[in-house]
Amino acid sequence: MLQFREINTEEYDVIKEQLISSLKFRDFERIITPFKIIVAEGNWKEILFVSDRMFKTFQDFKDFRNPYFMGFNFGDIAKGKFKISLEGITFISEYIEEKTILSSSGEKKVLYGRNLTKKDLRSFPSQIQKNDMSILINEDQEVLALGKYLVDKEEIENLEGNQIILKNIMDKGWYLRKGK
Amino acid sequence: MDIDELCSRFGYRRYMIERYLELFGEERILNFLEGNEQKLIPSIKVNTLKISQETLYEKLTNKGFQLEVNPFIPDAFYVYKEPFSIGATTEYLLGYYYIQGVASMIPSILLNASPSDIVVDMCAAPGGKTIQLAQSMNNEGVLFALDLSRDRMKSLRSNLARCGIKNVIAIRMDAVNLTQLKIRGISKILLDAPCSGSGLIPSDPTRKMSRNYEDVEICSTKQMELMTAALNTLETGGELVYSTCSIEPEENEYILDAALQQFGVEIIDLGLNIGEPGYTSAFGRTLAPALEKARRFYPYLHNTEGFFVCKLRKVE
């Protein structure tokens, strides 16, 4: 049974620090201004963003029935680590300037859940180090996925076109593969 | 008209043909049965929280889809040609639209929910109508989405996430227990009730043989329980839209007629230019005259799934 409650300071700091370290995203305080952050705690902790009005309504009925979910899921905390969700990366994408732009073949591959090669990338951020996360978008600037670079930027220049350089962490093809 | 011949020719159970003959008469039953043999044109509803109708049209037609604007429903397209599945495009995965039958788009429009409302979608999964309600509320306010099935709840969650819906509180429960939640100030309720699904025969012909009259009775009982819970919860002045994808009067007009007798409610004119009026009598039973304000949809007349919709206001 999930228990719904407001986020505590420790959880808040885990999210904030993880966003900085993995995505170099430092504006967490700014983007959450309109929301209350709720933790739905079960085997892991779901991080949910809800409006004040939703939260007040929840307070009215919480003694009678537990929600299945509410608001939108920004990510999960499991074993002390925060993992952003597909909705979460879409939400923060407009605040992140440097993203990886995929070619049309890269778009198809990533939505099938596959990893990407150099030739699937149209452009990439100016600074890349091995294990850096990057939001993957198509040529229409639409958010498709989150990937992790397997090499440094200097190495990319010297690689063959068909070598995997970007690991697919999550992608919106999930909605079709698993979410139906 | 030979009932056995119609059963044999169209593959229905006898009780269905007998009932449809009484409902439609000899002059219309053939049209009705032949209409159920026609494949419905797929349709999609644009998620205007994420994209405009014009931009989506351009994106999908550039990929080879042939779309036509639905003349009756805002932000909806018929899909006449699919180079690949309309449910497998990047635009679908980005939540720019959802796939929904045309008639199923009507109830959420009629409810006319706004950001100031507290809305309940009583049987919400898999979420097409919930997404429409959230759009109507501009993703604000509070929208309760209830459903009992664990699997369908997962679909609901996925669909809401895909479409960027943020104002939903989803609760897995039987909506007949809605009063237990003690939610105050519910101003709008959508009751798209579980039903025998006789309106879905064009897309699922197995329903001609897989249902019997007891299924209609079971659904009717459940529908009345849901209606009772809804009207016990709705605030005075609040509005309720009732719909099913069944064409059986026992699941539609009979439920509304009972609600009119048992609760202080009135039927509201829907202001629709399409649809047939609801029955004011059926199978020898005289029903409230106001039920002519309800609307029925049939494949042979409206090129939609068979559907029923009616709107109530609680007056005391």
Report the CATH number that the domain containing residue A60 is assigned in CATH. 3.10.450.220
Give residue B238's domain range. Answer: 103-314
Minimum distance, in Å, between the CA of residue A126 and any CA atom of chain B: 26
Contact in structure between A137 and A100 (CB atoms under 8 Å): yes
Model pLDDT for residues A98-127, shown as the tens digit of each residue: 999 999 999 999 999 999 999 999 998 988
Examine the domain organization and report whether B167 and B66 are in the same domain: no
Encoded tokens for A165: 């350089």
Instruction: Give residue B311's pLDDT.
Output: 98
Model pLDDT for residues A36-89, shown as the tens digit of each residue: 999 999 999 999 999 999 999 998 887 778 899 999 999 999 999 999 999 999
Instruction: Give residue B315's pLDDT.
Output: 96
Half-sphere exposure of A49 (CA within 13 A, CB side): 24
Q: Tell me whether residues B169 and A172 touch, CB distance under 8 A.
A: no
Is B195 catalytic? The answer is no
Examine the domain organization and report whether A65 and A35 are in the same domain: yes
Instruction: Give residue A179's pLDDT.
Output: 77
The ipTM estimated for the assembled molecules is: 0.95
d(CA B40, CA B201): 10
d(CA A71, CA A58): 11
Model pLDDT for residues B302-315, shown as the tens digit of each residue: 999 999 999 999 99
Instruction: Give residue B35's pLDDT.
Output: 97
Percent of chain A with pLDDT over 70: 100
Examine the domain organization and report whether B207 and B310 are in the same domain: yes
SS3 sequence of B31-46: HHHHHCCCCCCCEEEE
Q: Tell me whether residues A67 and B170 touch, CB distance under 8 A.
A: yes
What residues contact residue B187 under an 8 Å CB cut-off, 6+ apart? B116, B117, B118, B119, B234, B235, B237, B238, B239
Examine the domain organization and report whether B134 and B274 are in the same domain: yes
Q: What is the mean pLDDT of chain B?
A: 96
What beta strand segments (E) does B93-208 contain? 97-99, 118-121, 142-147, 168-172, 188-192
Q: How many structural domains does chain A have?
A: 2
Instruction: Give residue B34's pLDDT.
Output: 97
Contact in structure between A166 and A121 (CB atoms under 8 Å): yes
Examine the domain organization and report whether A88 and A113 are in the same domain: no
d(CA B182, CA B191): 18
Instruction: Give residue A55's pLDDT.
Output: 93
Give the closest residue to B299 by CA, choosing from B71, B107, B42, B36: B36
Give residue A106's domain range. Answer: 100-177
Encoded tokens for B50: 């994420």
Q: Is A32 an 8 Å CB contact of chain B?
A: no
Read off the pLDDT of each residue in B22-28 and give the average, rounded to a whole number. 94
Minimum distance, in Å, between the CA of residue A179 and any CA atom of chain B: 5
Examine the domain organization and report whether A67 and A104 are in the same domain: no
d(CA B18, CA A171): 52
Examine the domain organization and report whether A72 and A104 are in the same domain: no
Look at residue A156 and tell me whether its pLDDT is greater than 90. no
Examine the domain organization and report whether B109 and B134 are in the same domain: yes
Examine the domain organization and report whether A83 and A114 are in the same domain: no
Q: Is A79 an 8 Å CB contact of chain B?
A: no
